[in-house]
Structure 1
Amino acid sequence: MINENDVIDTLDELETFLRLIEAGGLGLNNVSGVALATNNANGRPFVAVLDDNQQLLLGRWVTPYVFENGKDMVRYGTKKPH
């Protein structure tokens, strides 16, 4: 489930999205991970929220910049606020 008009185009937006996922703010069940991926049909990059069976629960398109520069944030998580 990806909204065509909902694109994450800054690292700050990616961080906000990841914090929402980490905090359970989107009401998704059985979230087991987040990954950056590309659509097989057109190569468009997106951030994927995955369940226990590695099935897509939610996806958001990302710009190529966010895809390249947000990998560590997705891999290691966001910095916790003090």
Structure 2
Amino acid sequence: MNNELDIIDNLEELERFLISIEDGGLGLKDVAGVALATNNTDGRPFIAVLDDKHQLLLGRWVSQEVYENGKDLVRNGPKRTKH
């Protein structure tokens, strides 16, 4: 989460991010889940990609709107259509 400009600021972008995790497009190993969380230091919201030991594999800042309105999308997963 070092790139302050790399913020997910709408639900469509959040859905694309979740799909890329599911598809393995980010090259992450041992992904067990994702969660919306807040930074303990400053309260900023982010999406966390976690391994099976609940260790952070990847985090991306999200806007307050995405944090408030994206919980169902994170909980239930993206609603992709099958081709």
Q: Return the TM-score normalized by structure 1.
A: 0.95
* One-letter code aligned to 1:26: L
Question: How many pairs align?
Answer: 81
Q: CA RMSD in A?
A: 0.7
* One-letter code aligned to 1:36: L
Residue number in structure 2 paired with 1:65? 65
Residue number in structure 1 paired with 2:24? 24
Counterpart Cα distance in 2 of 1:5 and 1:72: 25
Q: Which residues of structure 2 form unaligned runs of 5+?
A: none
Fraction of identical pairs, as percent: 67
Counterpart Cα distance in 1 of 2:10 and 2:54: 26
* One-letter code aligned to 1:29: K
The Cα shift of 1:33 comes to 0.1
Alignment of 1:1-82 (within 5 A): 2=1, 3-82=3-82
The Cα shift of 1:4 comes to 2.1
Counterpart Cα distance in 1 of 2:55 and 2:40: 15
Q: Which residues of structure 1 form unaligned runs of 5+?
A: none
Counterpart Cα distance in 2 of 1:35 and 1:48: 5
Deviations 1:26-73 (A, max 9, x none): 000000000000000000000000011100000000000000000000
Counterpart Cα distance in 2 of 1:10 and 1:32: 24
